[in-house]
Each structure stands twice: as C-alpha cells, then as structure tokens.
Amino acid sequence: MDKDAFKERERSIEETYFRQRDAKLLERLRQEAKLEDIATALAEKLQVDNPELLGRVRALGVTIDTAPAFFVAPLVQVAWAEGEVTEEERDTVLRLARARGIEENSPAYAQLLEWLRVRPVDAVFDTAVEVIKSGFAVLPPEEKEERIKRIVQACQEVAMASGGALAKLLGLGSVSSSEASVLDTITSTLRSHS
C-alpha cells in the first residue's frame, strides 16, 4: 500500500516537473524571446525528453553559445542548396539572423559565418530541423503551424535572394529546383508527426 502511494507521489512530482519545463519553453517561444533563451529552455527539455538528440547536437560541436545559429541552420541549408552560397544569399541569411536577435559579435554569428563559408555536414542541417521540431512540439497546432510558416518564408527569402533584381521586380520566382527540394524537405520534416 505504501509503495503505491510513493509511486503515485513520484509520478505526480515527475509530471509537474515536465509540465513546468514545457511551460518554460512555451513561454519563451510565445514571448519571442532571444534565441539564446529559447536554446537554454530547449536544452533543458531535450536533456530529459530526448537525451539522444541532445547528444547528437553536442557531438556536432554546438554549444549553448552557438545554439542560436542552430535555429537558423535551415536558412544556411537553403543557401547551400545549389552547391555554393552567393553573396546575396549570405547577406540575406545574416540579415535574417540579426533580425532574430543573433548579434554580430556573438559566437552564434561567428558560427553562421563559418557555415556560410564552409558547408556543414548534412547532420548539422538534419539535426537542427529535428531540434526545431522538438521545440515546436509544445505549441498548440495553430501556433506551431504559424512558426513553421515563418521558417519556410525565411527559407524562401534566402532562396529568392540570388534571383536578381529584375526577377524580384517582376515578381518572377527565382527558386531553383534544388532549393525547392530543400524547402520541401524542411517543411515536411517540421510538419511530420513522428
């Protein structure tokens, strides 16, 4: 009898802890907190919910200081879709990163510069999308879909960056088939229910 009571109390304490941790991440996401704050809350969540994924993040060399760059890795992935990053794509990725709170003199910004100079391994991109998806899992469906749309729009902006001024002026799509393929993969992964 006492063992059941202790087990029930332990389960209750555990559930409370998980709800509080998810609530902390949810609050940071809803407040449009700095990516550093979101990274910290998400790391706490992954440490318990998915230590294997957190281990992969660490194995890729991502630290708490460079983690904000990890959240914009899909933009870098789109920039590399055609095998090289144009100056326009680079500038667009960096502008969008700054708009999301990544400061120019930060380790995260330095990481982005390096990823734009030398293409990261696919595991960086794949793992980044998994981490983003894990963070979005705490959001209500409508809010999650809105966040996915924002990421996809930012990725599309990067894809369109090197299309040239005339194409932009005329409203012509300048997304290559390789960029479209990367966009589709990112979108479908973020929307999948695994």
Number of folded domains in the chain?
1
- Model confidence at 17: pLDDT above 50: yes
Tokens of 158: 């990067």
Domain hosting 40: range is 2-191
Q: Tokens 């983003």 correspond to what residue?
A: 132
**What span, in angstroms and rounded, lies between the C-alpha atoms of 67 and 46?**
13
**For 145-164, what is each residue's pLDDT tens digit?**
998 999 999 999 999 887 64
Predicted local distance difference test score (pLDDT) of residue 165 = 44
Q: 37 with 28: CB under 8 angstroms? A: yes
Predicted local distance difference test score (pLDDT) of residue 72 = 94
Predicted local distance difference test score (pLDDT) of residue 42 = 66
